[in-house]
A and B are shown apart, each in its own frame.
Chain A
Amino acid sequence: MKEIDAEAIDAIREIVNIGVGRAAGQLQEMTGSHIRLQIPNITIVPFDEITTVGNTLISGDTLSAVLLDFKGTFSGISAVVFPPESAAALVMLLTGEQEKSPELDAMRIEALKEVGNIIINAVMGSIANILSEHLIYSIPVYYEGPMVTLAGLRRKNVRDECVLLARTNFMVEKLNIEGDILLILEIGSLEALVTSINRASA
Chain B
Amino acid sequence: MSETRKITVSALTRVEGEGALNVCVEGERVVDVKLTIYEPPRFFEALLRGRAIEEVPDITARICGICPVAYQMTSVHALENALGVQITPAIRQLRRLLYCGEWIESHVLHIYMLNAPDLFDCHSGIELAARFPTEVNRGLRMKKIGNRLLEVLGGRAIHPVNVRVGGFYRAPTRDELNLLLPDLRWALQASIESTRWIAGLEFPEYGQECEFIALQHPDEYPFNEGMIASTMNSPLVVGDYESHFAEQHVKHSTALQSVHRDTCETYLLGPMARFNLNRDQLYPAAKQLVNELGIKIPLVNRFHAIIARCVEVVHAFEEAIEKIENYVPPSPAYIQYAYRDGYGVAATEAPRGMIFHSYEITAKGEVSKANIVPPTSQNQRQIESDLKDYIQRLLPNKDEVIAANCEKLIRTYDPCISCSTHFLKLTMQRL
Partners in one complex: no
